[in-house]
């Protein structure tokens, strides 16, 4: 079937499910997907292992996360808070002149194109966060399967389609396609109204450029790249140097460094840099690589970026790593002093087991270096309880979507408060998150209804509030 | 002063005011602007009259609206609901594995570039909705004054700057610039993090293209064009033909047709088209034009688009209008039958006193025509109480940001539920509104804080909730 056919079918399915009191049904569809994935867990994990070289335990955890995500989003759909229902009654005395009865809610955008990520074959792929939140919002999904796990993609798609169909969802509400050209056609199709993407800066930016250059530009929610700086204060280092190095290395080498939240840069006081380097050399010597990188392209890309960073002037190699697959972790060092705008070491993501230790002489030098960072998914602070970290939090906060203290950035929980985003290039849509319940909001738009009769209003907006939605009425919040 | 200097000053002011418990102060700044505008009302209206040819009463009303808008946004800032504070406590039993303590709130984007609209010299210009909501969000504003009201722009800017300074806002938090090149430099400046724009499709799209082509693309909230279809059912026509024609013409000719929500197309049953045309001719004959169009460019642009629509095959001229300034209203007619994709009559906004009557043979033909409309700010339905308008609402709703029943789209109230937006080209950011309290959300982004101590957390996120913000805690809403 052609891309055009699939998108048109998806659009029809969107229209068929674009109903006013569909929340319960839609939540059921998400749950059906979750249950089906759970049912086929063993097969899915087996195929995923072959496709991605990821270890079984990790894949099982990721699948658990994926199912949980679907269930949490289903619960959120049932609540209907994401509809942001707002009711203003007619008011002849409104301050700027008489106000008509006006009521607003969020509605689904239409067909959403989703591009799966190579490094999370479940959680950020076929039935992952983007697909799940688009379906939760009431959109249809056409998913471009990542070429790194095509067999898994096709199997998952079959399971998802079957589950949706059995649960009574309209045919075509979820479809998949493969191949680079099909992906481009998807982004450019007039009936596609938004795109979700997780991947590289190069690939993501190219698709973003297409999405915004269409006759009708569409929102492109792309999660692209991040080096995830981690900052260690002198007091923190003095209190627990081994904990810090262990935590950093564990987070950095987890999944062979193939996480978007991998801490790629560690800022340390210059006074302790030598001690830190010794510890890093010592601990990395004991590192036992496991598995294999996700695919040949990622492996080659990693070697290239690692070689580039190694070649930068002012960059010292602490441990070189090697060219085996997976490679032994590489560690570099440089001084923040004199790092100017566009310092390559602050701009280069090495997607794999490698990091840079940056030594700073004083807080101002550190803040200046942070100021030169491009947008980041996360920023980590390792500090002690009695320190004032206000300036650090503030400066880092201007660059990041999530700040952490005394923890490490890998392992992104799916929850109500989660935010997985950040200024470009962390994402192409800095006002959004791709993880957590707030991810649904990416795929809706507000519509206001002025002066309609109770019988005509969609259920969400009826005065009688039959769906018992939380809503804001004349400025005040009340559950019913 | 150069654009670069102004943006850098604005960035410094943003940093200086980027404080954690600044809500009260910031609300005070908005109120100070409102009070100052009120204080200088007479001077402002006098200068506006000269600049825009708009009548005094209209300008006074618009200024009232502008002041009200500032006050309502100030109230919204004090409430802090727009921060969307969400708290997830640590949870060892969270379904996907132990959850850390994670708390999210919205923070300001930074410097916002704002382009004022020609047709609302107060409400959508210097201290209008975009500037006010950006300041409300905690951003700084650099405003490009519209060349159509430069004298008014400079006067307003002086009043705003003085009010902000007296109220203690940091210097440079609000600045203005003039000239096309300066506007382009503004959109491309690396420290500008978002743009608000109201204007034409041509001008807006050109700036949008620049905003998304930057090394760091930024959100561009542009309100561009809309023909605002109004649909009349047969029953509605039979019940109140004169009311409908009077309401339509009043809304269409108000402000010499220079409103973004002017109803430019009236869909009528073919069976009553002749009767409607007679009524239109009769009532338009009595029309007494007042004032003068906003400026020469808009006047010439109107004549051009009017001539283009008149020249389209299948388009009949009911009243031709004339070439005086302001022109007598022009009215055209066509049949929806056979209108295909890209029907020019559905794509051409005549910004001025002109409209098109489109006659439909049956509901399906009507729905098909609506389906061909590009994105719209508004869609109006004139119907009777006992009619089923579900399909109409649904089809029109897919195209519009606001639906109205038995009212007319001009006169956009500023309230909690308002939504002034819609799919492209109504806006370049379909998931946003430029009017109402929800407009603030355009200029913020979410940041999550993971595992911070109570003493370190920003006031908004502290467990003790010192700002008494409404927030969602572990999935449940509570005011404190």
Please indicate if any CB of chain A lies within 8 Å of the CB of B146.
no
Cβ-contact A222, A427 below 8 angstroms: yes
Predicted confidence at residue B343, as pLDDT, reads 83
Lowest mean pLDDT among A47-51, A146-150, A452-456, B335-339: B335-339
In total, chain A counts a number of residues equal to 480
Contact B470 A448 (CB under 8 A): no
Q: Which residue in chain B is spatially nearest to A459 when comparing CA positions?
A: B390
Q: CA angle, A463 as apex, B237 and B366 as ends, to 5°?
A: 30
Predicted confidence at residue B289, as pLDDT, reads 85
Q: List the one residue out of A107, A104, A106 whose CA is nearest residue A474.
A: A104
Predicted confidence at residue A72, as pLDDT, reads 98
- Rounded to a whole number of angstroms, the CA Rg of chain B reads 24
Nearest to A448 among B94, B418, B450 (CB): B418
In angstroms, the CA B28 to CA B435 distance is: 20
Predicted confidence at residue B340, as pLDDT, reads 67
Please indicate if any CB of chain B lies within 8 Å of the CB of A431.
yes
Is a pLDDT exceeding 60 seen at residue B20? no
B411-420, pLDDT tens digit by residue? Answer: 999 999 999 9
Is a pLDDT exceeding 80 seen at residue A19? no
In whole angstroms, what separates CA A20 from the centre of its chain? 29
- Residue of A435, A450, A468, A471 to mutate, testing the B interface (most B Cβ within 10 Å of its Cβ): A450
Q: What percent of chain A has pLDDT over 70?
A: 98
Mean pLDDT of chain B: 95
Contact B438 A104 (CB under 8 A): yes
Q: Provide the pLDDT confidence category of residue A17 given band limits of 50, 70 and 90.
A: confident
Would you call B10 helix, strand, or coil by DSSP?
Answer: helix
- Please give the average per-residue pLDDT across A71-77, as a whole number: 97
Q: Does domain A229-405 have CATH number 3.40.309.10?
A: yes
Task: Decide if the complex's ipTM is over 0.95.
Answer: yes
- Please give the average per-residue pLDDT across B173-201, as a whole number: 97
- Please give the average per-residue pLDDT across B7-32, as a whole number: 90
Q: Provide the pLDDT confidence category of residue B478 given band limits of 50, 70 and 90.
A: confident
Q: Which residues of B are catalytic?
A: 223, 260
Q: Minimal Cα–Cα distance from A478 to chain B, Å?
A: 10
For residue B284, what are the CA distances in angstroms to B130, B231, B294, B300?
Answer: 36, 20, 21, 22
Predicted confidence at residue A479, as pLDDT, reads 55
- Rounded to two decimals, the pTM is 0.97
Predicted confidence at residue A212, as pLDDT, reads 98
In angstroms, the CA A354 to CA A332 distance is: 8
Q: Residue A67: which residues within 8 A CB-CB, separation 6 or more?
A: A34, A37, A38
- Please give the average per-residue pLDDT across B271-299, as a whole number: 93
Predicted confidence at residue B338, as pLDDT, reads 74
Nearest to B438 among A430, A444, A446 (CB): A446
Predicted confidence at residue A360, as pLDDT, reads 97
- Please give the average per-residue pLDDT across A352-381, as a whole number: 96
Q: What percent of chain A has pLDDT over 90?
A: 93
- Residue of B380, B412, B446 to mutate, testing the A interface (most A Cβ within 10 Å of its Cβ): B446
Q: Provide the pLDDT confidence category of residue A21 given band limits of 50, 70 and 90.
A: low
Which CATH number is B3-224+429-478 given?
3.40.605.10
Neighbour count for residue B478 (Cβ, 10 Å): 9
Q: What percent of chain B has pLDDT over 70?
A: 98
A325-340, pLDDT tens digit by residue? Answer: 999 999 999 999 877 6
Q: Return the HEC string of chain A.
A: CCHHHHHHHHHHHHHHHCCCCCHHHHHHHHHHHHHHHHHCHHHHHHHHHHHHCCCHHHHHHHHHHHHHHHHHHHHHHHHCHHHCCEEECCECCCCCCCECCEEEEEEECCEEEEECCCCCCCCCCCCCHHHHHHHHHCCEEEEECCHHHHHHHHHHHHHHHHHHHHCCCCCCCEEEECCHHHHHHHHHCCCEEEEEEECCHHHHHHHHHHHHHCCCCCCEEEECCCCCEEEECHHHHHHCHHHHHHHHHHHHHHHHHCCCCCCCEEEEEHHHHHHHHHHHHHHHHCCCCCCCCCCHHHHHHHHHHHHHHHHCCCCEEEECCCCCCCCCCEEEEEECCCCCCCCHHHHCCCCCCEEEEEEECCHHHHHHHHHCCCCEEEEEEECCCCCCCHHHHHHHHCCEEEEEECCCCCCCCCCCCCCCCCCCCCECCCCCCCCCHHHHHHHEEEEEEECCCCCCCCHHHCCCCCCCCCEEECCEEECC
Window A:87-106, CB contacts with B under 8 Å: 87-88, 94-97, 99-100, 102-104
- Please give the average per-residue pLDDT across A7-17, as a whole number: 95
- Please give the average per-residue pLDDT across A447-470, as a whole number: 96
Lowest mean pLDDT among A317-326, A337-346, B365-374: A337-346
Q: In A, which residues are within 8 Å of B110 by CB distance?
A: 398
Is-same-fold flag (B3-224+429-478; B229-405)?
no
Q: Provide the pLDDT confidence category of residue B21 given band limits of 50, 70 and 90.
A: low
Count the alpha carbons within 13 Å of B217 in the hemisphere toward its beta carbon. 28
In angstroms, the CA B400 to CA B424 distance is: 10
The residues spanned by each domain of chain A are 3-224+429-478, 229-405
A267-292, pLDDT tens digit by residue? Answer: 999 999 999 999 999 999 989 888 99
Q: Which residues of A are catalytic?
A: 223, 260
Predicted confidence at residue A18, as pLDDT, reads 76
Is a pLDDT exceeding 90 seen at residue A138? yes
Q: In A, which residues are within 8 Å of B421 by CB distance?
A: 445-446
| Residue contacts between A and B (CB atoms, under 8 Å) | 234
Q: Provide the pLDDT confidence category of residue B22 given band limits of 50, 70 and 90.
A: confident
Would you call B186 helix, strand, or coil by DSSP?
Answer: helix
Contact B88 A393 (CB under 8 A): no
Predicted confidence at residue B1, as pLDDT, reads 87
Q: Minimal Cα–Cα distance from B97 to chain A, Å?
A: 8
Is a pLDDT exceeding 90 seen at residue A385? yes
């Amino acid at each position: 079937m052609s891309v055009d056919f699939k998108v048109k079918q998806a659009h029809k399915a969107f229209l068929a499910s674009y109903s006013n009191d569909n929340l319960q049904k839609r939540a059921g569809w998400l749950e059906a997907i979750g249950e089906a994935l759970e049912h086929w867990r063993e097969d899915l994990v087996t195929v995923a292992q072959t496709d991605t070289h990821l270890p079984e335990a990790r894949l099982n955890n990721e699948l658990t996360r994926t199912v949980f995500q679907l269930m949490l989003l289903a619960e959120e759909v049932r609540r209907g808070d994401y509809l942001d229902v707002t009711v203003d009654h007619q008011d002849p005395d409104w301050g700027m002149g008489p106000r008509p009865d006006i009521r607003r809610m969020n509605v689904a955008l239409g067909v959403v194109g989703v591009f799966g990520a190579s490094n999370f074959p479940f959680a950020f792929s076929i039935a992952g966060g983007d697909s799940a939140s688009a379906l939760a919002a009431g959109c249809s999904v056409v998913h471009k399967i990542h070429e790194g796990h095509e067999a898994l993609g096709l199997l998952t798609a079959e399971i998802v389609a079957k589950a949706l169909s059995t649960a009574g969802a309209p045919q075509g509400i979820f479809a998949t396609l493969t191949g680079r050209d099909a992906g481009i056609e998807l982004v450019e199709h007039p009936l596609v109204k938004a795109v979700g993407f997780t991947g590289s800066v190069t690939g993501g930016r190219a698709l973003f450029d297409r999405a915004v250059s269409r006759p009708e530009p569409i929102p492109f929610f792309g999660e692209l790249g991040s080096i995830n700086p981690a900052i260690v204060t002198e007091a923190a280092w003095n209190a627990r140097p081994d904990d810090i190095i262990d935590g950093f290395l564990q987070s950095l080498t987890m999944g062979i460094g193939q996480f978007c939240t991998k801490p790629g840069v560690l800022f340390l006081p210059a006074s302790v840099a030598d001690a830190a380097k010794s510890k890093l050399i010592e601990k990395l010597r004991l590192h036992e690589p496991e598995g294999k990188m996700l695919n040949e392209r990622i492996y080659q890309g990693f070697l290239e970026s690692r070689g580039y960073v190694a070649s930068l002037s002012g960059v010292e190699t602490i441990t070189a790593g090697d060219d085996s697959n997976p490679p032994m972790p590489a560690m570099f060092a440089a001084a923040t002093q004199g790092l100017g705008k566009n310092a390559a070491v602050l701009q280069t993501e090495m997607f794999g087991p490698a990091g840079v230790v940056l030594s700073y002489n004083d807080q101002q030098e550190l803040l200046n270096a942070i100021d030169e960072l491009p947008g980041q998914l996360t920023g980590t602070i390792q500090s002690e309880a009695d320190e004032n970290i206000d300036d650090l939090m503030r400066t880092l906060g201007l660059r990041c979507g999530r700040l952490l203290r005394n923890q490490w950035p890998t392992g992104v929980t799916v929850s109500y408060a989660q935010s997985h985003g950040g200024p470009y290039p962390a994402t192409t849509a800095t006002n959004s998150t791709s993880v957590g319940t707030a991810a649904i909001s990416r795929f809706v738009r507000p519509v206001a209804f002025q002066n309609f009769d109770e019988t005509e209003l969609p259920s969400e907006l009826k005065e009688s509030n039959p769906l018992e939605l939380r809503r804001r009425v004349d400025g005040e919040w009340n559950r019913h």
